[in-house]
Each structure stands twice: as structure tokens, then as C-alpha cells.
């Protein structure tokens, strides 16, 4: 098994935990605060990963260059915008459609990788992306009254457009992070990922922290009151990002993001076994399509 596969699966599991924690935080603070927590509370852990690789593993920290810094900035701001939009969707009574469109991220990542770097994916990978994305969208609209009229109308709904924009920014960020990590040129994929993560999350923390000091200081107080959940969010978020960056250093971003759809299976496992929720036929079909997409990716991608 190629190393990027188990790394991606682990990152998807951790991202599922981070998303659940951020949904909880959205109930006690604003969108800006819930977005900041992912970065600000993740920064100490990102620096710890770098320290461990440098001091204990003995890897040399590569020096940043202009190309690296450019793509770090693109990825950092893209991820801030994408996360803000995704969390903003939780404010809508029916955020399922928007969340579904945000899951078009793998397809958009493949497009941006082609446009920016000329990276091409195989026919098997494209098929895997299409199948898994359709599966995720089925799950997301499974509890809506399904009709052609509702389906067409949902495409132009405000929350759908927000979700699509979120997926676009996540796709751009994924391609940018791969470009930044590869621009370092060594010494190995773990250190390249750790350096990319440290620079990225530092920039994100400074930008969002400065914004809150300028525009919304009350939000800082709300974050402080929820520090325990915020610390957990930061830990799993930073660890998941470290996994994404390692995987995307080893493999094309679009391929990694296609496999990352396995996160939805983790969500449904928790729903069924821990919360004793029942799933309907559309949700079951969506899960099976995600599994099919992953199998296609692994076998034919």
C-alpha cells in the first residue's frame, strides 16, 4: 500500500472530529471565532511537529524561498475564506445543500491543478472523483423532498452558491499547499509538510487574530470561555492538516482529496453506532457510491 493512502485516511478521520468540534463552537461564538480556533489553537501543535522532526529526528529545516512563500500565502488565505464560508453555512436552517456543493472540492482541485501546473489525472481518478462526489451529494440532500424542480432550484440557492465557493477556495488551497511543499525540495516529505504547515498556520493566526483585535474584540472573550473545546479543535485540526500536507507532498492534491471523501463514512459510522440514528435509502446509496469511488481510485487511479 502506498504511504499516502493511510495518511489520508487518518487525516480524514481527524478532520471529521475537527468539523464536529467546530459545529459545537459555532453555537457559542461567531463564524470568525470558530474559524480562528482552527488556526490559533493549532499553531502550538504545528510548531511542536516541526520541533520534534528537527530535534528528535534530526532533519534539517529547509529555508523558504519566494515560490514557497507565494503559494503558502495563496493557500493560507484560500483556506481562511473556505473555512469561513463553510462555517457560515451552519447558520442556515438548511445547510445540507451548501455542504454538498462544498464537497465538489476534489473535482475543482483537479481542475486547478491542470490550469496552474498542467497536472493531469487518469481516467480512473476522474471516474472515482465523479462517483464519490455524487455519493456525497446524495447523502447531503437525502432528507429533502426530492423532485426535479427542487433539485434545479437548489443549484441557484444562496447556500448552494456559498458551498460551491467554499469548495472552490478549498480546491485552490489544496493545490497551493502541494506547490509550496514541493518548492522546498527536501529533505523529506514529513519535514516539507511540517514547514509548510508551520508557515501557513502562523500567517493564518496573525491575520485572523489581527482582524478580531481590530473589528471584534468581544469574540476573543467568547473563544476564551470555550478554550477546552478550542484546544481540542486546534489539536485535531493541526494534526489533520499535517496529514494532508504529507499526503499532498507524496501524491497529487486531487487524488488525495478524492480519497478524503471517506470522511463521510466516518460521519455515518458515528451517527449509526454512537447516536443510534437511522439512515434512509439515499444515504445508504450515497455511502455505497463513496465506497465505490474509493475502490475505483485505489484500483484504477
Q: What is the dihedral of CA 35, 260, 232, 205, to 10 degrees?
A: -40
| Lowest mean pLDDT segment, chosen from 36-45, 89-98, 240-249 | 89-98
**Who has greater pLDDT, 97 or 81?**
81
Question: Residue 275 pLDDT more than 60?
Answer: no
3-state secondary structure of 91: coil
Distance, CA of 77 to CA of 89 (rounded, Å): 19
The whole-number pLDDT of residue 89 equals: 75
Residues in the chain: 301
Spell out the residues 6+ positions from residue 215 whose beta carbon is closer than 8 angstroms to its own: none
- HEC string of 208-228? HHHHHHHHCHHHHHHHHHCHH
Distance between CA atoms of residues 282 and 270, nearest Å:
18
DSSP-based three-state secondary structure for 111: helix
What is the pLDDT at residue 145?
64
Section 20-45 average pLDDT: 87
Of the listed ranges 90-94, 164-168, 239-243, the one predicted with least confidence: 90-94
Amino acid at each position: 500500500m502506498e504511504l499516502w493512502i493511510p495518511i489520508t485516511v487518518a487525516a480524514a478521520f481527524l478532520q471529521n472530529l475537527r468539523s464536529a468540534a467546530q459545529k459545537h463552537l459555532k453555537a457559542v461564538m461567531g463564524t470568525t471565532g470558530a474559524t480562528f480556533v482552527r488556526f490559533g489553537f493549532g499553531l502550538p501543535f504545528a510548531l511542536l511537529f516541526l520541533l520534534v522532526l528537527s530535534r528528535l529526528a534530526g532533519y534539517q529545516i529547509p529555508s523558504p524561498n519566494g515560490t514557497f512563500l507565494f503559494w503558502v500565502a495563496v493557500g493560507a488565505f484560500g483556506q481562511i475564506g473556505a473555512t469561513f464560508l463553510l462555517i457560515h453555512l451552519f447558520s442556515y436552517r438548511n445547510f445540507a445543500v451548501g455542504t454538498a456543493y462544498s464537497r465538489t472540492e476534489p473535482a475543482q482541485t483537479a481542475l486547478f491543478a491542470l490550469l496552474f501546473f498542467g497536472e493531469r489525472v487518469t481516467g480512473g481518478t476522474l471516474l472515482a472523483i465523479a462517483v464519490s462526489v455524487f455519493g456525497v451529494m446524495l447523502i447531503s440532500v437525502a432528507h429533502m423532498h426530492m423532485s426535479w424542480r427542487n433539485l434545479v432550484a437548489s443549484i441557484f440557492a444562496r447556500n448552494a452558491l456559498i458551498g460551491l465557493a467554499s469548495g472552490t477556495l478549498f480546491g485552490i488551497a489544496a493545490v497551493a499547499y502541494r506547490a509550496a511543499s514541493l518548492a522546498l525540495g527536501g529533505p523529506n516529505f514529513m519535514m516539507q509538510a511540517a514547514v509548510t504547515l508551520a508557515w501557513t498556520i502562523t500567517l493564518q493566526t496573525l491575520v485572523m487574530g489581527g482582524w478580531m483585535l481590530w473589528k471584534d474584540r468581544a469574540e476573543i472573550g467568547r473563544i476564551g470561555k470555550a478554550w477546552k473545546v478550542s484546544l481540542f479543535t486546534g489539536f485535531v485540526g493541526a494534526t489533520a492538516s499535517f496529514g494532508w500536507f504529507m499526503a499532498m507532498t507524496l501524491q497529487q492534491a486531487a487524488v488525495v482529496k478524492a480519497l478524503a471523501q471517506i470522511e463521510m463514512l466516518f460521519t455515518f459510522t458515528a451517527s449509526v453506532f454512537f447516536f443510534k440514528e437511522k439512515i434512509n435509502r439515499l444515504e445508504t446509496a450515497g455511502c455505497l457510491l463513496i465506497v465505490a469511488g474509493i475502490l475505483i481510485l485505489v484500483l484504477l487511479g
